[in-house]
Structure formats: structure tokens, C-alpha cells
Amino acid sequence: MGEHIEFMGKDIYFWNFIVLMFFTLFEVGAVFFETIPFTEIEITKLAVWGILIVVGIIKGYGIAAFFMHLRDDPRIYTRTALFPVLFVLLMLWGIGLSNPAGVTDLPSWCTPNWDYATTR
């Protein structure tokens, strides 16, 4: 298990905890501040989206891989955990297609020759 891996005298759980705390602070800050502190560089909506998604993935990986031991457990557990992701992706696809702009504004590679995509 992860406690056998040590860095600076502390086990992997401790460092995972520190990383999770840091990234939580980072995502709250990204939303709270309109510009990067001590600069005049604006934090755009797109940047906030990017930060929230990337930080979410990092935190999710940290919890699942280390706290839930998926990194050390047999792969069948990871596959079990990832199974619903297939349905989540289907749902996201459904969200994209049922959104008002989901058909007309999608890039061409997403709308494979659907006539109504342009005529609607």
C-alpha cells in the first residue's frame, strides 16, 4: 500500500492530502479573483472553466488513486470504477445534442452529414 512510499519522511497519503488542499485553495482563488493577484491579467471565463476542470481531474485522481488505493489494487477495481464513465459520456453527448446550440454550433466533425444540422 501507499504508506510504504515515503518522501521527505512522510508517506504518500500525507503528500496527497497536501496536494488536495493546495488545489482546492487554487480553484477557490481562481473564481474569487477577477485578475491574477499582483497583476492586471484578467482571469477569463474560459480560463476559469479550464482551471476547474483540470483541478477537478487532479483532485479526483488523487482521491481515487491514493486514498481509495486504486493505484495499488488489482486493475479490476479501476475498471469497475470506470464502467459508469461510459454512461456519463453518453449523458454528456446527450447534453450537447439537446442543447439549443448543440446542433448548429457544433464543429463539422461532430455533425457527420446531418442535413438538419444546417437547415434547422
Partner 1 sequence: MSGQGAHLDNSVWMRAVVMGGIILTIGIVLFGALAIGVAGQKQIAWDDAETAYHEAEHDYEVAYENYTIALAEFETGNTTLTQADLDELHDEYEDMHHAEEEAHHDEIKAHLSYLSYRVSGITVLLMSISYASFIGVGGFLNASKPNADHGDGHDDHDEHHGSSTPIVFAFGIMLFLIGFPDFVIACKALLSSEVTADVSMMALSMVGLATIVVAIANWWFEDLPFTGSGEQIATSYPFEGEHIRKVGLWVFIMSEIMVFATFFSSYLRMRTEWCTDWAIRDGVEACADVPEGTVVTASDLLRYDVATLMPGAINTFALIISSYTIVLALKTAKDTNWKPSTGFMGKLMPTRKAAVRNYLIATLALGSLFIVLKLVEWSHLVAEGFDIGTVQGSIFYIATGAHGLHVFIGLLVMLYLVFKSDTVGFDENNAQGIEYFGLYWHFVDLAWVVIFPAFYLY
Residue 88 as a binder of partner 1 (CB under 8 A): the answer is yes
Tally the residues of the chain: 120
The Cα–Cα gap between 48 and 21 comes to 18
Q: Looking at beta carbons only, is 23 or 113 nearer to partner 1?
A: 23
- Residues 73 and 5: their CA atoms lie apart, in Å, by 15
DSSP 3-state helix, strand, coil percentages of the chain (rounded to 5)? 65, 5, 30
Q: Does 9 bind partner 1 (CB under 8 A)?
A: no
Instruction: Confirm or reject binding of residue 95 to partner 1 (CB under 8 A).
Output: yes
| Minimum CB distance to partner 1 smaller for 98 or for 113 | 98
CA distance 1 to 15: 15
The residues that touch partner 1, with contacts defined as CB under 8 A, are 3, 11, 13-14, 17, 20-21, 24, 27-28, 30-32, 45, 48-49, 52, 55-56, 59-60, 63-64, 67-68, 74, 76-77, 80-81, 83-85, 87-88, 91-92, 94-95, 98-101
